[in-house]
């Protein structure tokens, strides 16, 4: 495949920045780079433009550094919450990837971040909080906290708690129902006993205290 050397006039990911001289496929340069104004042929006349291209590149890189530095400060204070489905054992279905985090950053905070700047050694497969590294710039690296939560309810736990609470409430109700009756009966017996001690007859309806029966005599 024929190659041609060009001077880049704009930053192109994985190819180079302004003023870089690179070799590319002739068809790629002719059909894409030149029509889009992203590069110019490497000629003596075009070489004179290198200084202005280098100045443009320096300004762009300084702006990107400032922007990414400010973004890093903001992202380091955020907590990105990601809801996932889990099984009864609490294990996640699937995993949280760089793409998942990038989507949630856009949804929750309106931050458009290339997923390639989100560095995960392995996809997240465990619930909880995780510190995820963000490589925003060659000179700017920060971390964001990602909290993975389950959207799956735990019916067994909820049902058990509900049953336990119902039993406690039933026990409390039963105790409240017994106390007045026991208290009234005790008060009534005390009053009858006091009257008998004074030689008074108990009022109608009052239950006399039962006398203890002694052993029967032989004559009986």
SS3 assignment, position 128: strand
Domain CATH code at residue 100: 3.10.430.100
Residue 137 within a domain? yes
How many domains does the chain divide into?
Answer: 2
Domain CATH code at residue 42: 3.40.5.10
pLDDT at 95: 94
Contacts 24+ apart (CB under 8 A), 17-23: 17/57, 17/60, 17/61, 18/53, 18/54, 18/56, 18/57, 18/60, 19/50, 19/53, 19/54, 19/57
CA nearest to 74, candidates 13, 140, 21: 140
SS3 assignment, position 194: helix
0.95 surpassed by pTM: no
Domain boundary among 150, 182, 212: 150
Distance, in Å, from the CA atom of 158 to the CA atom of 152, rounded to the nearest integer, reads 12
pLDDT tens string, the chain, 220 residues long: the values are 789 999 999 999 889 999 999 999 999 999 999 999 999 999 988 888 899 999 999 999 999 999 999 999 999 999 999 999 998 888 899 999 999 999 999 999 999 999 999 999 999 999 999 999 999 998 999 999 999 999 887 654 455 556 667 777 766 766 666 555 545 555 555 565 565 655 655 555 555 555 455 555 544 4
Residue 16 within a domain? yes
SS3 assignment, position 148: strand
Any idea what DSSP says for residue 50? H
pLDDT in tens, 51-74: 999 999 999 999 999 999 999 999
Any idea what DSSP says for residue 117? G
User: Phi and psi (nearest 5°) for 135?
Assistant: -105, 85
Residues constituting the chain: 220
pLDDT at 89: 82
Distance, in Å, from the CA atom of 67 to the CA atom of 169, rounded to the nearest integer, reads 60
Residues of the domain holding 121: 80-150
SS3 assignment, position 174: helix
Distance, in Å, from the CA atom of 126 to the CA atom of 28, rounded to the nearest integer, reads 45
């Amino acid at each position: 495949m024929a190659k041609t050397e060009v001077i880049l006039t704009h930053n192109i990911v994985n190819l180079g920045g302004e003023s870089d001289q690179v070799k590319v496929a002739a068809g790629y340069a002719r059909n894409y780079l030149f029509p889009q104004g992203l590069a110019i042929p490497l000629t003596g006349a075009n070489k004179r433009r290198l200084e202005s291209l280098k100045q443009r590149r320096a300004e762009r890189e300084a702006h990107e550094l400032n922007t990414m530095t400010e973004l890093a400060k903001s992202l380091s204070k955020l907590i990105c919450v990601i809801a996932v489905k889990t099984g009864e054992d609490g294990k996640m279905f699937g995993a949280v990837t760089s793409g998942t985090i990038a989507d949630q950053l856009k949804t929750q905070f309106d931050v458009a971040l290339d997923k390639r700047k989100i560095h995960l050694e392995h996809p997240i497969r465990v619930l909880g909080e995780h510190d995820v590294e963000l490589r925003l710039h060659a000179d700017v690296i920060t971390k964001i906290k990602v909290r993975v939560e389950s959207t799956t309810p735990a019916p067994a736990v909820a049902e058990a708690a509900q049953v336990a609470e119902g039993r406690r409430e039933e026990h409390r109700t039963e105790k409240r129902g017994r106390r007045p009756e026991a208290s009234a009966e005790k008060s009534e017996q005390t009053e009858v006993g006091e009257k008998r001690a004074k030689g008074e007859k108990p009022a109608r309806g009052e239950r006399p205290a039962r006398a203890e029966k002694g052993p029967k005599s032989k004559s009986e």
